[in-house]
């Protein structure tokens, strides 16, 4: 099949590469000339396990092409996927300007039937606005051309996106046309062989499903963080509580790990956008607001623990950070808890020595060169002369460290673990003062 994808960001690249890998011919269109040039040279701008190899393979055999030529992109694919960004506006609602700009571009250039698919995470009703934008462009041209609109939201986890795309739990298709449904079923047939994972529904339900899924997962995280705070106050161990409730199959173990809040490009933005959608139709989203408020508070927990430990004497301290990305296996630092912590430390005159397996460059891009930030390529070098170690991201290489070496390098042996990856008893035996989330200190 011939497919065009507008947007070569996270969703567009993963979608394009995986569709090309199974034999489709994919053109990715992006307005960023520098990004397109780098992609043509084999430079992938995001860290996603396995993606580089797929892009290299499919680009080399000509099944994946990158271009800035929108007209060529519209001419190429019968399926036109919109995978551009939907950043939050000031009120938290999703900014659809890029989505609608692509829709108008498609309307300006189509010459025969196309299925126009929203792959970006968009509010309920966006497909209607895309349909109208295309119709307006066609009216300006004075032509009538048949087209269909569909919603096909992505469910990709950063750090596991290739596997999520190629072995999906479900493939949601929102459409109101048998022709569009047939084409989308054909598109996903290679990923849908051992059982039918395609769930066809009306467009608005498909749009809401994506937001509802992310909001549900964010709610589980915020709920566990609230219970973790309670556990600290009443003398319970949140890790034992987690196991106790996770054993209930109605709850399960996914997304009930306490920590220092969720980040990234999806959960924060989508919870706010869904709340904005609710307000727009006269509904007060009390639960969604509470999820967001709990997450905001949770991102400040580590600083509060540090400040209390040092009795408010933070100026001049040096704090070592392990982990900058919002989660393992990605270099994404958007709304990462590490950023909240670092900025709070700088505000009181502390220095940061940080290490992340892949996000150091992203951190340098965000903050530039500054005297109170030192980025280290080695996790243990980041400890040298620091007053404490803080674990912000649960990368595998941090799970079984050399505690004796940590103690030798730190000015005093103290660890603040924002992800509960260490055993409190083991650290006590090592002579390390240990602070974590939802457990007795």
Residues carrying an active site annotation: 266
Strand 318-322 vs strand 388-391: parallel, antiparallel, or unpaired?
parallel
Strand 25-29 vs strand 198-201: parallel, antiparallel, or unpaired?
unpaired
For residues 189 and 187, give the distance between their C-alpha atoms in angstroms, rounded to a whole number: 6
- Please spell the DSSP secondary structure of 96-156, one letter per residue: -HHHHHHHHHHHHH--S-EEEEE-S---TTHHHHHHHHHHHHHHHHT----EEEEE-----
Strand order in the sheet with 2-6: 64-67, 25-29, 2-6, 79-82, 114-118, 147-151, 171-175, 198-201
What number of H helices and E strands is found in the chain? 17, 14
Provide φ and ψ at 150, rounded to 5°: -145, 155
- Please spell the DSSP secondary structure of 41-108, one letter per residue: TT--SS--TTHHHHHHHHHHTTSEEEES-HHHHHHH-SEEEE-----B-TTS-B--HHHHHHHHHHHH
For residues 379 and 375, give the distance between their C-alpha atoms in angstroms, rounded to a whole number: 10
Give the 3-state secondary structure of residue 141.
helix
For residues 324 and 375, give the distance between their C-alpha atoms in angstroms, rounded to a whole number: 10
E-only strand ranges, 181-267? 198-201
Q: Which of 311, 230, 211, 312 is nearest to 271 (CA)?
A: 211
For residues 133 and 17, give the distance between their C-alpha atoms in angstroms, rounded to a whole number: 28
**Residue 62 CA, distance from chain mean position:** 29
401 CB-near residues (< 8 Å, 6+ apart): 379
Structure tokens that stand for 317 in this block? 């301290």
């Amino acid at each position: 099949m011939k497919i065009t994808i507008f947007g070569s960001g996270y969703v567009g690249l993963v979608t394009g590469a995986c569709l090309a890998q199974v034999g489709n011919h994919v053109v990715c269109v992006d307005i960023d000339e520098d990004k397109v040039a780098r992609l043509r040279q084999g430079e992938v701008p995001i860290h996603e396990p396995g993606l580089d190899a797929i892009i290299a393979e499919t680009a080399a055999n000509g099944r994946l092409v990158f271009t800035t030529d929108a007209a060529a992109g519209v001419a190429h694919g019968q399926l036109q996927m919109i995978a551009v960004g939907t950043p939050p506006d000031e009120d938290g609602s999703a900014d659809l300007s890029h989505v609608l700009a692509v829709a108008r571009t498609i309307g300006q250039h189509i010459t025969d039937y196309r299925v126009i698919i929203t792959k970006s995470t968009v509010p309920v009703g966006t497909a209607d606005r895309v349909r109208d934008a295309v119709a307006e462009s066609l009216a300006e041209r004075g032509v009538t051309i048949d087209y269909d609109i569909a919603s096909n939201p992505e469910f990709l986890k950063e750090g596991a996106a290739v596997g999520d795309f190629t072995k999906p739990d479900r493939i949601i298709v929102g459409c109101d046309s048998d022709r569009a449904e047939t084409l989308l079923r054909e598109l996903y047939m290679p990923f849908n062989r051992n059982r039918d994972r395609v769930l066809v529904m009306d467009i608005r339900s498909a749009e809401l499903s994506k937001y509802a899924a992310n909001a549900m997962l964010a709610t589980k995280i915020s709920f566990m963080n609230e219970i973790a705070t309670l556990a600290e106050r009443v003398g319970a161990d949140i890790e034992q509580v987690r196991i106790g409730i996770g054993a209930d199959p109605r709850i399960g173990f996914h997304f009930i790990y306490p920590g220092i809040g969720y980040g990234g490009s999806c959960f924060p933005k989508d919870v706010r956008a869904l709340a904005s959608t609710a307000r727009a139709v006269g509904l007060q989203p009390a639960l969604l607001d509470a999820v967001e408020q709990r997450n905001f508070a949770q991102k400040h927990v580590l600083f509060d623990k540090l400040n209390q430990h040092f009795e408010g004497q933070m100026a001049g301290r040096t704090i070592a950070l392990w982990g900058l990305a919002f989660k393992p296996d990605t270099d994404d630092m958007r709304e990462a808890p590490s950023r909240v912590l670092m900025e709070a430390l700088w505000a009181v005159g502390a220095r940061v020595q940080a290490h992340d397996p892949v996000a150091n460059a992203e951190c340098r891009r965000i903050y530039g060169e500054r005297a109170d930030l030192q980025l280290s390529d080695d996790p243990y070098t980041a400890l040298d002369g620091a007053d404490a170690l803080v674990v912000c991201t649960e990368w595998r290489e941090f799970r079984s460290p050399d505690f004796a070496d940590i103690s030798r390098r730190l000015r005093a042996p103290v660890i603040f673990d924002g992800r509960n990856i260490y055993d409190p008893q083991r650290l006590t035996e090592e002579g390390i003062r240990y602070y974590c989330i939802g457990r007795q200190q």
